[in-house]
Structures are given as structure tokens and as C-alpha cells.
């Protein structure tokens, strides 16, 4: 935690990590949310879950409250991004009531420390079930979740497009320059080819998209599929989420060969189930091509991400570029 306390890029983090000060702030927030006395809440533990210095930090709080011990999730940002995410989460939480999917319930936003507060979703990790490869049900649940999210009656303030996807991909593959003389030019050529292909995509009506949809984002919460991390939601092409999901199946099979069977089983099951739940989207003749496009850009992005991770840098980026080349040949 000491490193987090020194993060000058996150001005609210020092306070967010202080149990005494957070007992007051969260007590006020949870008291107003539940109709209880603010003084009835006390922070008894703060766990730092994921810290991206200067950008954001995810935390889990354990609190003693009127009804016993409770855990909540929070994330502090460098700017007011959390306020917009709170509004978006509230819209999705309300729109998905009664759907075969839920998102974490947003509790509040503490402006002075730029802290987004939500429920902590307990449950079984569906990704682990998928990778075991004993059945395709986890993949089908994930497809149903994607279809429900894409069908939510939510108007997203920001849009995502193939052109933005290309720009984002170029930023991520910049890290490949340190992975040998051929990786960066190879990735650049693939992006160039994909950019040409994207120019020919017809305009389409945008739906809500998660934009970071992959197996680890889903949990079984008492029999209901919970979708986490709505930080990057946009209005856009649902093929973004489908392609990203498929790219992550390739990634996990490369990282963990024991997961190959589960990933192989999941791929056709996910696509079949998604088509059954969203036939108007999936039966569009151009949808499959757009899925391959976003699958390819995701593979490129992931090659850049894992080039910066020492454990995987010597093997994963090259194999993801190999996989991307195979997908690109089907797009261009």
C-alpha cells in the first residue's frame, strides 16, 4: 500500500487507503444508501486489488455495519471519469432488471477523492469453468450475457467505431518495437490492412457494447451471470465484444495449453448461442466479417499488452501475431 500512497497521479488514493477517514466517508454514503446511521459503519479492512499508477486503483473494503460484515468494491481515478461511469452503471443496472445478466449495483461517487463505489459481486469465476473444458455451458452463459447487454435499452453518451479501434490498436502495438526487429513492422502491416478493410464497412445502428468483454469479466452470482467492469462501455458495433471474446480464447490457449480444450469447445458454442439470442445482429451477412476484424485488432492489441509482461513477452506476442495473420486473411 505504501507505493499507492505515493501516487501523486491519483490525488484521492491516500485517503481511500485510510480506514479511519474512509469509515466517515463510506459511512455517510452507505448510510444514505441504506437508510441507516452513518456512524453504524466502520471500515475494518482495505485491500488493494489492482493499481495502475497515475491512472486508477481498484480497492475492496470490508466494513462492519448494522447487519454485520459487508464487502464493497471501489475504484479511484485520476480525473472525474468515475462520475460518468457511475451514471452509466446506474442506467445498465436499471435496464437489465429481470434479464439473464446483472451488473454490479452502483452505490455512489465520492467527488472529493474521485472514488466510484459499487457492490462487491461475490460468486464463482465462470472463466475457470470454461477453461476446464468439461462442457460448453459456461461459454453459452457468456454468450447470453453479451446478447442481453447488447439488447439493453441504454443510450451511451460515447460512441466507438472501427476507426477508433484502429487508432487504439496502433497505440498498443507501439510496445512491440522492443520485441525484436520484425515484430513492430509485422504488426504495423496487419493494422494497415485492417484499416483498409474497415473503410468498406457499412454504417450500422450502434448498440450498447462493453468493449472489454472476455471470460474473466463474468461470474456466477447465485445462479445469475454477473458482468463486471463497465468502465469502457460505449455505443458501437456488437461485433467488438464478440471479436474480443474470441481473441481472448486464443490468448488463453497460448498462455495455458491445458485450457486449449475448453477454449476450443467455447468458440462454436459462444457463436451459436449468441446467434440464437441476437438473430437480427448475428444473421447480418457482414457481421461475421466484422467479428473477424475486431478479433484481429484485439489479437494485435493483446500482442502489445503481453510484450510488456516479462513472463509472457518471449512467446505470447509472436504467437498472437501468427493468429492475427490467419484472421486477417479472412477479412481483407
Domains and CATH numbers, the chain: 2-119 (3.30.200), 124-331 (3.90.1200.10)
Please give the backbone phi and psi of residue 184, each rounded to the nearest 5 degrees, phi first. Answer: -65, -50
Q: Which pLDDT band, with edges at 50, 70 and 90, does 297 fall under?
A: very high
Other Cβ atoms closer than 10 A to 293: 27
- Strands lying side by side in the sheet with 224-227: 124-125, 218-221, 224-227
Q: Which pLDDT band, with edges at 50, 70 and 90, does 203 fall under?
A: confident
Asked whether residue 4 carries a pLDDT value surpassing 60, the answer given is no
Q: Which pLDDT band, with edges at 50, 70 and 90, does 103 fall under?
A: very high
Average pLDDT over residues 132-140: 97
Q: What is the pLDDT of residue 200?
A: 85
Q: Which pLDDT band, with edges at 50, 70 and 90, does 36 fall under?
A: very high
Average pLDDT over residues 248-254: 98
Q: Which pLDDT band, with edges at 50, 70 and 90, does 181 fall under?
A: low
**Residues 123, 284: Cα–Cα separation, whole Å:** 35
Q: What is the pLDDT of residue 187?
A: 94
Q: What is the pLDDT of residue 178?
A: 65
Please tell me whether residue 256 adopts helix, strand or coil conformation: coil
Average pLDDT over residues 101-127: 97
Burial of 167-205, coded b for 16+ CB within 10 Å and e otherwise, reads: eebbebbebbeebeeebbebbbebbebbbebbeebeeee
For the ranges 148-162, 173-187, 217-231, which has the lowest average pLDDT? 173-187
Nearest to 179 by CA among 325, 295, 321: 321
Mean pLDDT of the chain: 94
Per the CB < 8 A criterion, the answer to whether 213 and 144 are in contact is no
**Residues 42, 28: Cα–Cα separation, whole Å:** 11
Asked whether residue 253 carries a pLDDT value surpassing 80, the answer given is yes
Q: Which pLDDT band, with edges at 50, 70 and 90, does 331 fall under?
A: confident
Q: Which pLDDT band, with edges at 50, 70 and 90, does 8 fall under?
A: confident
Average pLDDT over residues 192-215: 91
Q: What is the pLDDT of residues 262-287, one digit of tens each?
A: 999 999 999 999 999 999 999 888 99
Q: What cell does 130 get?
A: 470454461
Q: Which pLDDT band, with edges at 50, 70 and 90, does 180 fall under?
A: low
Rounded alpha-carbon distances, angstroms, from residue 216 to 87, 269, 281 = 24, 17, 24
**Residues 16, 75: Cα–Cα separation, whole Å:** 9
Asked whether residue 1 carries a pLDDT value surpassing 50, the answer given is no
pTM, to two decimals: 0.94
Q: What is the pLDDT of residue 5?
A: 55
**Residues 258, 255: Cα–Cα separation, whole Å:** 9
Please give the backbone phi and psi of residue 323, each rounded to the nearest 5 degrees, phi first. Answer: -65, -40
Asked whether residue 310 carries a pLDDT value surpassing 80, the answer given is yes
Counting beta carbons within 10 angstroms of the beta carbon of residue 221, is it exposed (0 to 12), middle (13 to 18) or buried (19 or more)?
A: middle
Average pLDDT over residues 298-307: 96
Asked whether residue 179 carries a pLDDT value surpassing 80, the answer given is no
**Residues 208, 15: Cα–Cα separation, whole Å:** 34
Q: How far apart are the first and last CA of the chain?
A: 48
Please tell me whether residue 208 adopts helix, strand or coil conformation: strand
Amino acid at each position: 500500500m505504501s507505493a499507492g500512497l505515493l501516487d501523486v497521479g491519483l490525488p484521492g488514493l491516500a485517503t481511500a487507503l485510510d480506514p479511519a477517514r474512509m469509515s466517515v466517508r463510506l459511512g455517510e454514503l452507505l448510510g444514505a444508501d441504506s437508510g441507516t446511521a452513518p456512524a453504524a459503519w466502520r471500515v475494518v479492512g482495505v485491500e488493494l486489488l489492482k493499481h495502475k499508477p497515475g491512472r486508477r486503483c481498484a480497492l475492496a473494503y470490508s466494513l462492519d455495519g448494522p447487519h454485520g460484515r459487508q464487502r464493497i468494491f471501489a475504484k479511484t481515478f485520476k480525473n472525474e471519469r468515475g462520475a460518468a461511469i457511475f451514471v452509466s452503471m446506474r442506467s445498465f443496472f436499471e435496464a437489465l432488471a429481470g434479464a439473464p445478466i446483472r451488473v454490479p449495483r452502483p452505490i455512489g461517487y465520492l467527488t472529493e477523492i474521485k472514488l466510484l463505489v459499487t457492490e462487491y459481486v461475490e460468486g464463482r469465476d465462470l472463466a475457470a469453468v470454461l477453461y476446464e473444458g468439461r462442457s460448453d455451458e459456461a461459454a453459452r452463459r457468456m454468450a447470453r450475457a453479451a446478447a442481453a447487454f447488447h439488447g439493453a435499452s441504454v443510450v451511451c453518451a460515447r460512441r466507438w467505431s472501427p476507426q477508433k479501434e484502429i487508432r487504439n490498436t496502433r497505440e498498443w502495438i507501439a510496445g512491440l518495437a522492443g520485441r525484436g526487429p520484425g515484430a513492430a513492422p509485422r504488426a504495423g502491416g496487419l493494422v494497415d490492412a485492417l484499416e483498409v478493410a474497415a473503410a468498406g464497412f457499412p454504417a450500422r445502428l450502434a448498440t450498447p457494447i462493453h468493449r472489454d468483454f472476455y471470460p474473466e469479466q463474468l461470474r456466477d452470482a447465485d445462479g445469475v451471470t454477473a458482468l463486471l467492469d463497465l468502465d469502457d462501455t460505449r455505443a458501437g458495433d456488437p461485433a467488438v465484444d464478440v471479436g474480443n471474446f474470441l481473441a481472448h480464447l486464443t490468448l488463453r490457449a497460448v498462455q495455458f495449453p491445458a485450457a486449449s480444450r475448453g477454449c476450443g469447445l467455447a468458440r462454436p458454442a459462444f457463436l451459436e448461442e449468441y446467434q440464437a439470442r441476437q438473430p437480427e445482429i448475428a444473421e447480418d451477412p457482414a457481421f461475421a466479417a466484422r467479428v473477424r476484424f475486431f478479433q484481429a485488432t484485439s489479437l494485435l492489441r493483446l500482442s502489445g499488452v503481453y510484450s510488456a509482461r516479462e513472463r509472457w513477452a518471449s512467446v505470447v506476442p509472436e504467437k498472437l501475431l501468427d493468429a492475427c495473420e490467419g484472421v486477417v486473411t479472412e477479412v481483407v
